[in-house]
Amino acid sequence: MGIFDKLFGKKGVNRDTDLQIIKQLEKEIGIELTEIKGEMDRYSTGYKTDSNQKVTALALYLVQLKEFPQAILQLENLTKLKLRSIRLTSLPKEISRLTNLTELYVYNNDLTSLPKEISQLTNLTRLELYGNQLTSLPKEISRLTNLTVLNLIYNPLTSLPKEISQLTNLTELYSSANQLTSLPKEISQLTNLTVLNLSDNQLTSLPKEISRLTNLTKLYLSDNQLTSLPKEISRLTNLTVLDVRRNPLKQPPSEIAEKGIDAIHDYFKS
């Protein structure tokens, strides 16, 4: 009998209560977990339960594991999972069992790729992958159509898949401190975006289609290699923050661009 048959039974049925599963998890990771009564912050280690003693949230911080704890895969009532600084190198494809997840945080680990099965977590609204070693995203990520926040900061990503355009409920996309040299023009389909952070990349240009993101209020482009901005960017009239510092801008000149969208609009109109 394989590991997953032992955990789930031959028919995939969860045979243990959630609190029994927590005991299994404690044995697997070698530490005792406490129930968190208040808010679960970024440094938490423990779990939260609902009125029926179902485990709905789990956080592991600074637990040195390297491998994904298999007992977690039995906690099918989880809506929030936070795995921070635990040296994970991969997520199992069986993470797709956690179909009630709405928030998944895998911070400061060593992930080099995501399983395409992550696309089955269709209730996810928040996916935070800050500080890993991801060089690409699976195109199947496009199925996570309920995502509102996607955080990819501090990953060596060289490109964003054009399929990202199907995440039409995204309001915040953080892709700073990557290794992006260009953006897919399809990014223009993310029309609900209010925050787009592309700072600290290697972008040399922006697609003119970025002008369709008319709900943007914050656009961060600092520390790239931009020599010009498309004149269409002046259509982003809802911007309250436009950060273009530390770019070799010539059109418009840096001193104009750094004054904000109104100055850019006036520059291109003149």
Extract the tokens encoding 95.
Answer: 């993470």
Question: 205: closest CA among 236, 171, 232, 170?
Answer: 232
Distance from C-alpha of 99 to C-alpha of 118, rounded to nearest angstrom: 10
Distance from C-alpha of 159 to C-alpha of 175, rounded to nearest angstrom: 10
Question: 216: closest CA among 232, 234, 193?
Answer: 193
Within 168-212, strands assigned E span: 172-174, 195-197
Q: Which residues contact 30 (CB under 8 A, 6 or more apart)?
A: none
Q: Which residue has the tokens 């498309």?
A: 230
pLDDT of residue 62: 92
Phi, psi values for residue 201, rounded to 5°: -125, -160
Tens digit of pLDDT for each residue in 69-85? 999 999 999 999 999 99
* Confidence band for 16, pLDDT divided at 50, 70 and 90: low
Amino acid letter at 1? Answer: M
Question: 30: closest CA among 74, 67, 63?
Answer: 63
Q: How far is CA 94 from the centre of its chain?
A: 19
Which pTM was predicted? 0.91
Asked if pLDDT for residue 14 goes beyond 50, the answer is no
Which domains does the chain carry? 17-269 (3.80.10.10)
pLDDT of residue 11: 44
Question: What is the pairing mode between strands 46-49 and 172-174?
Answer: unpaired
Tens digit of pLDDT for each residue in 181-207? 999 999 999 999 999 999 999 999 999
DSSP state of 29: H
Amino acid letter at 220? Answer: Y
Cα distances (angstroms) measured from residue 137 to each of 129, 156, 160, 253: 11, 11, 7, 34
Tell me how far apart the terminal alpha carbons of the chain are, to the nearest angstrom: 74
- What mean pLDDT is reported for the chain? 92
Q: Please tell me whether residue 119 adopts helix, strand or coil conformation.
A: helix
Neighbours of 10 (CB within 10 A): 10
- Cα torsion 88, 92, 93, 94: sign: negative
